[in-house]
Chains A and B, each alone.
Chain A
């Protein structure tokens, strides 16, 4: 390309980018026609696989008696560790791990007789109907020589250690001398925060339908946030070339991080399908979902905050202790947000892990930043009250004008505007500065707020755009839409980039036969896919412009390509817009039915350098260093809670979120993302906890009746606003992403409001009635 545009400038004439377009996949979803991964029933001879999982959390399988199961009608095969076909590469082998794009843990079940966690798959039954498979699986007599498990880091048997690293972050990090800064600080706050185990619980359980179309050609319909990562990982495990595996995810019933990985069932389904010679559908039951696709680990954090008497931060020492699996050093990196959120001169963080009889925990909406924000944002609230400052004031006092971790300027930051706009929308000025003072009948009323932030991660991916002479276009990228609105926002971007109406665009995603792009996670999809589509559309224009300027019949004949621009589907001279023609005319004369463009969209600093090796795995530090900018989205949440001091109930009565996240492609779907993340956070704040029996290390509430996710009646009116940002540094579209920042700070905003209402600080999540009552027994 001669003139690769560096940044998408919204057309002077209003386009559809930034408009509240209704979901283009809405029609399919409201009519029930949207096909999810367990709904490919037309596959020839489709049969059902059902997992049988371990009752106990630790031990060794001594025998599995399948005689009764075998006698059940319709049973086609029963697999255990004794007969499961071997994987070409297995997560159990550290060397093999390197070949996997998305293996969530260094363990694969049914490879030996070892039992490491309750709910671990031990057997798989394949039968002609779901009912036959389910009942046969129940009839398997599994005998296990049980051993005493370790339930969590809180188990007296657990021993904690400081790992070398967790998720690429060092086990111990130091910036300045935070210990000394804290020790010498005139104001010292020390607090410990507890978090229950949480589960993603997307409404659609994990499901894999595997179809061997030929001995060397596998198609998998899977509930995955990343078809390409699943493709590469499955191919490696099954000993196939990447291109021999096709992964399809047209619709995904929520993910929130748990569907970002190739969990055991995703591999077991193709193994079963190959063995029985028929397509196999494997769907996790809801209880299996709790032990099949990871969780957010239970954890505690101690935050020691030192500040001046005026409220300026001097240093923070942060320690986190959490449970991990027998094989992996995994912890959410809570320290990241604590390190960067305020102008903080010195910081130290240490991760402590304890191995227990559980599977490896995994990425859960805003991993690290969500729980990390609870600690820092509650402690900042404490600081405000201790010094008699308004909570917003203390945050402005410590406003980070540049990234304290590396000294880089921000690519853009509109947090002050978020505070101001949020305060205005919420009516923050009405707040009584003293806590425990506002009543509404028997209820205590409190206001709380918290800051949100989430980094702009690097990622990359391709897109293809085919513009037809009749003005219609097909746009393709192997992305996934988790419900985030990818279908819709990319349709909008393509429409504006091609100068055609959105109804002329068909955007296809969720298939590895489409241009490869990375997973939808880490709030990267909107920026990456929109940028790659925008750049692919530019290639279409460049081709058309080149054709026009050498076409004698074109009004643009003889012009310099660089002098021609596209405006609403018309090629015209920059200097003389009257001189030009519609793109269809150029194609018609050349007898071309369509023109195609492709591009690689990059997210983060490197997008500007098309020649550069765009390493999407570059970590945040490397990326920021390369760019010279730190890239984050920022925002603020405000809420009002009503606490019943006698019944212990907390209800959120009002909610306001204001976000600044670069360009907002569609305020309607973006608003939905923000209220969705806030509700997810309200669940974590008030009701969500998975309980593992302290002696048997098995979940006692692995269902949706007793693991409480919020219901409609829990949720008040919610107001969302955006501070629009023009950020030319993050990517070609200037999009930062909003899927995760929406949950960051939410639990703290609720807890801060509870503190304002009651004068009691609850530092253990969720804040259930038992904890509220206990707090109310304490002096304010």
Chain B
């Protein structure tokens, strides 16, 4: 790691002011993403602003839904009774991620901002369009067995967000509260937070320099209560998803009234599939419906040689998740 200065900010204002003064700096909360990147020389910051003292905690019911402070840890949120009862998929996404130690450390804000696990991005010795624009993407003809098949571009096929939480949040219409300076807050739905790899490979989210994630709000809904997160990986635990599905159904009298579907591990970003939701809504909760929804979800897939299996795997994962929720 490069040498940097370290400041523990006491207030959000102090934190955003510090970042304004040193735009190349970074916030640090749990540190599990940031220090990992800095140690691998994938990020260098002259200043770290420790935000752990900021009052960005708390899990509370609001009129807009469950509001979770961005500094809450994955462990605390994943096991919180309100989350477990009202948003099982969110709880499961958190508790199936990483390891108990990492979940004790990682903040929700940091989780949402984690970077791709693409081996070419993670090793500065490789060319990588995301790291060094125009340097090329060896993954296209190389090891892409766990890279994305949806929303990919010709210059990058990374799953920019490799984790689980944002997949569930994307499915259940969560909204982020961002704060750039005192009094300057804005609300951004998760579905609009991540950017697809167009011409802005290096810019992965709409977060602006110095902007803080303050809170996450998840609207209450029947389909969120009846939800699940299914994760398929190469080992039983402590691994990133090859494919995952966050699904929620509101089924009444055997008919699906509302559906939420998002896929992980297969998209350039957490992949909300409104196509699948459309296929499901108003239809009987049967395997045939689920199969049709899965086909719709993967309609636009652009697989390559070594991740072609993900088309089938993602479909099967989605069908299985829907079956589990439909009971």
Contacts and interface: CB of A to CB of B under 8 A. Distances in A.
Asked if A and B form a direct contact in the complex, defined as CB atoms under 8 angstroms apart, the reply is yes
A711 B238 contact: yes
B120 interface: yes
Contact of B123 (A131, A695, A702): A702
A686 B125 CA distance: 29
B234 interface: yes
B122 interface: yes
Contact of A135 (B3, B145, B240): B3
Contacts of B242: 769-770
B239 interface: yes
B309 interface: yes
B125 A56 contact: yes
Interface string B186-226: 00000000000000000000000000000000000000000
Interface in B272-312: 306, 309, 312
B5 interface: no
A698 B123 contact: yes
B1 interface: yes
Interface residues of A, number: 39
Contacts of A713: 235-238
B138 A695 contact: yes
Given A646-B320, A698-B126, A773-B309, A705 B117 contact: yes
A698 B238 CA distance: 24
A324 B210 CA distance: 50
A166 interface: no
A694 B319 CA distance: 34
B7 interface: no
A768 interface: yes
A131 B146 CA distance: 33
Contacts of A131: 1, 3
A272 B43 CA distance: 30
A710 interface: yes
Contacts of A695: 138, 141-142
A43 B238 CA distance: 38
Given A648-B309, A769-B309, A774-B309, A700 B235 contact: no
A696 B313 contact: no
Nearest to A704: B238
Contacts of A724: none
B1 A687 contact: no
A693 B313 contact: no
Contact of B138 (A696, A705, A768): A696
Interface string A105-129: 0000000000000100000000000
A650 to B, nearest CB: 10
B84 interface: no
A551 interface: no
A773 B126 contact: no
Given A702-B123, A703-B122, A138 B41 contact: yes
Given A135-B1, A138-B41, A698-B123, A687 B309 contact: no
A175 interface: no
A55 B117 contact: no
Contacts of A769: 232, 234, 242, 309, 313
A135 B317 CA distance: 43
A649 B142 contact: no
Interface in A530-586: none
A649 B198 CA distance: 34
Contacts of A691: 119, 143, 145
Interface string A436-450: 000000100000000
B316 A711 contact: no
A647 B2 contact: no
| A686, A711, A714, A769 pick with most chain B CB within 10 angstroms | A769
B238 A55 contact: no
A693 B142 contact: yes
A693 B141 CA distance: 9
Main secondary structure of the interface of A (DSSP, over half): loop
A768 B236 contact: no
Interface residues of B, number: 35
Given A647-B320, A700-B120, A714-B236, A770 B138 contact: no
B5 to A, nearest CB: 15
Contacts of A702: 123
B235 A708 contact: yes
Contacts of A764: none
A442 B321 CA distance: 13
B240 A694 contact: no
A480 interface: no
B236 A651 contact: yes
A649 B232 contact: yes
A711 to B, nearest CB: 5
Contacts of A693: 120, 126, 138, 142-143
Interface in B16-41: 41
Given A700-B119, A774-B309, A711 B141 contact: no
A647 B138 CA distance: 28
A714 B235 contact: yes
Contacts of B237: 711-714
Contact of B312 (A134, A135, A442, A773): A773
A648 B233 CA distance: 9
Contacts of A648: 232, 309, 313
Contact of B309 (A134, A138, A770): A770
A131 B3 CA distance: 9
Contacts of B234: 686-687, 708, 768-769
Interface of B: 1-3, 41, 117, 119-120, 122-126, 138, 141-143, 145-146, 232, 234-240, 242, 306, 309, 312-313, 316-317, 319-320
8 contacts: A649-B232, A698-B123, A698-B126, A701-B119, A705-B117, A706-B119, A711-B237, A768-B234
Q: Which 9 pairs, one residue from A and one from B, show the smallest C-beta to C-beta distance? A: A55-B125, A700-B119, A713-B236, A770-B309, A646-B316, A713-B237, A700-B143, A693-B142, A691-B143
